[in-house]
């Protein structure tokens, strides 16, 4: 099974995903989500369950067009240039390597281990 085509690119995708999750439909439609269903990562750096974090990331992409930030506007332009933006939304929804497995999650995502990304071109 799979999500109905176009679901993730709709403006209220986050609400739809939460409704499907609460009805236990999300893991029926996408069995790949079972390992992260309500998964709590217990450390200082995680505020949300892994599945909720994925939904929040999708909502963040949808808010790019309404942002007044120049950075966000640029990212909204790039998102608009994608041939199939639903693939990006799906990549955010599906569990990343190691999430939900018995192995300890990589600590590379913690703030102390982050390297800054280069600034915009021309600066």
pLDDT band per the 50, 70, 90 thresholds, residue 118: low
> Residue ranges of the domains in the chain?
8-98
Give pLDDT tens digits for 55-112.
898 999 999 988 899 999 999 999 999 999 999 999 988 866 445 554 444 444 445 5
Tokens of 58: 């999708």
As a whole number of angstroms, the distance between CA 85 and CA 81 comes to 8
Contact status, residue 96 vs residue 20, Cβ threshold 8 Å: no
Q: Where are the alpha helices (DSSP H) in the chain?
A: 13-22, 26-29, 50-63, 70-81, 85-93
Contact status, residue 68 vs residue 57, Cβ threshold 8 Å: no
Q: Average pLDDT for residues 34-52, to the nearest whole number?
A: 70
């Amino acid at each position: 099974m799979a999500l109905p085509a176009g679901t993730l690119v709709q403006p209220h995708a986050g609400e739809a995903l939460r409704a499907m999750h609460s009805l236990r439909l999300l893991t029926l439609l996408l069995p790949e989500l079972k390992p992260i269903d309500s998964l709590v990562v217990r450390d200082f750096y995680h505020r949300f369950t892994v599945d909720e974090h994925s939904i929040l990331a999708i909502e963040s992409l949808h808010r790019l067009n309404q942002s007044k930030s120049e950075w966000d506007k640029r990212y909204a332009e790039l998102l608009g240039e994608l041939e199939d933006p639903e693939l990006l939304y799906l990549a955010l929804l599906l569990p990343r390597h190691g999430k939900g497995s018995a192995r300890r999650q990589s600590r590379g995502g913690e703030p102390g281990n982050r390297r800054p990304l280069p600034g915009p071109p021309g600066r």
